[in-house]
Structure 1
Amino acid sequence: MKRIKAIEEWRTIKESSNGQSILLFKMSLTCFSSLSAKKELHKLVTDLPLYVIIVQTDQAVSKAIENDLHVRHESPQLLIVKDQKATWQATHYHIKESVVRDAIELYS
């Protein structure tokens, strides 16, 4: 997982989704469901790049993602982004390795 800390970095990553889908994981460091979702993502085997946004410290990036993708903010939240659009999302306890693996097959 590579952390996104700046809006410019997010916009470059968003543009890169034209060539390959990406995974975006928004999480809170103080939320149990975020930590549980993070553990699930560590089990995931995929070639897709996985980026993390920590909502407490990177609020501007989180807001830019919400505005750019037209997806309401949740935390934790996992998005598949393809061609600069969110094609799939899961929140809270729906972020499970098997669910994400299936979503990658269908939406990336």
Structure 2
Amino acid sequence: MNWHPLHTTEQLEKILEESKHTPVVIFKHSTSCSISSTAKSRLERQWHGQGLEKVKPYYLDLLAYRPVSNEIADVLDVRHESPQLLLVQDGMCTYNASHLSINVDELKKKVAAPH
């Protein structure tokens, strides 16, 4: 899994535009939370071989870039949680899971489903 760092609200604007051509996921991670670390590790282990090669993954360190996380919640109209995985397609959040509910199989279904 090749994470792309997310650090600025300007990047978020570009990601939303990018999502009109390529599905993207944003993983919001709290580096001080063991549940977040577990969810990230599980996601990374399950990602490969799941047909998600066309999905571009972004990683946001919540503790370092909290204003970006707040902007994501506002722009995508989702409640902030940590950890949180958001699938963005056509500029909209089409899948939102948090904590240990983050599931690669569910993500895969949402990527494949018409939106």
Normalising to structure 1: TM-score of the pair? 0.91
The equivalent residue for 1:93 is 100
Shift of 1:13: 1.0
CA contact under 8 A between 1:26 and 1:77: conserved in structure 2? yes
Shift of 1:3: 1.1
For 1:106 and 1:36, locate their aligned partners in 2 and report how far apart those are by CA, in whole Å.
Answer: 27
Equivalent residue runs for 1:15-30 within 5 Å: 15-30=17-32
* Bigger shift: residues 54-63 or 40-49: 40-49
2:10 to 8, 11, 35: 8
For 2:113 and 2:36, locate their aligned partners in 1 and report how far apart those are by CA, in whole Å.
Answer: 24
The equivalent residue for 1:37 is 39
For 1:18 and 1:37, locate their aligned partners in 2 and report how far apart those are by CA, in whole Å.
Answer: 27
Normalising to structure 2: TM-score of the pair? 0.86
How many percent identity over aligned positions? 30
Q: Which runs of 5+ in 2 are unaligned?
A: none
For 2:7 and 2:114, locate their aligned partners in 1 and report how far apart those are by CA, in whole Å.
Answer: 26
List 4+ stretches of structure 1 deviating above 2 A.
96-108
Q: Cα RMSD over matched residues?
A: 1.5
Q: Which runs of 5+ in 1 are unaligned?
A: none
For 1:84 and 1:58, locate their aligned partners in 2 and report how far apart those are by CA, in whole Å.
Answer: 21
* Bigger shift: residues 92-101 or 45-54: 92-101
CA contact under 8 A between 1:87 and 1:107: conserved in structure 2? no
